[in-house]
A and B are shown apart, each in its own frame.
Chain A
Amino acid sequence: MIKSELIAELAQANPHLYQRDVERIVNTIFEEITEALARGDRVELRGFGTFSVKVRPARLGRNPRTGEPVQVPAKHVPYFKCGKELRERLNE
């Protein structure tokens, strides 16, 4: 399923809404999660899962061509942990 199919399915289930509003609803949900993560916040959606930001600590890397050590700075990366209900329903 891709985003346009999700929008189409939601529009079909809600025939009283304009297609344009359904699009805004779906985009708002993912934009809100993105903004929360960009602030360093967590997003906990019980049953579905939790989005959070993890810190990859700074480390000493190596230039693969020259073998020279280089400092790789700490990096923030998004992380998703599947919720209990979804995990259980995947394996019923």
Chain B
Amino acid sequence: MSEHTLTRADLTEAVYEEVGLSRNESAQLVESVLQMMMDRLIAGENVKISSFGSFLVRQKGERIGRNPKTGVEVPISPRRVVVFRPSQILKSRISESLDSSS
């Protein structure tokens, strides 16, 4: 598998090619989409993108962790995390393209 990394620039290019806008405006629109999603998540709201997946805000309680170097136990404070649940469509598209069919 030849692994390549896409960035905002690649998403901008895709938007630029799809819609007749300038590269600069395409970049701003990509940024707006990411910011709007982040604002909702930070406000504690889930973000569901049909046929792609859901970004869910989860509350984690306090737990005891351990410094792996010293072995000293330290409390890990309660926190909020975002988990991504891929849609069945996204899972199938990846699976169909990359799993060996044997």
Contacts and interface: CB of A to CB of B under 8 A. Distances in A.
Interface of A: 1-3, 6, 9-10, 13-14, 17, 21, 24-26, 28-34, 36-49, 51, 53, 73-80, 82, 86-87, 89-91
Contact of A40 (B2, B82, B102): B2
Interface of B: 1-8, 10-11, 14-15, 18-19, 21, 26, 29-30, 32-34, 36-38, 40-42, 45-53, 55, 57, 79-84, 86, 90-91, 93-100, 102
Contact of A90 (B52, B53, B82, B93): B82
Contact of A29 (B2, B4, B11, B41): B11
A79 B86 CA distance: 8
A1 B47 contact: yes
A44 B99 contact: no
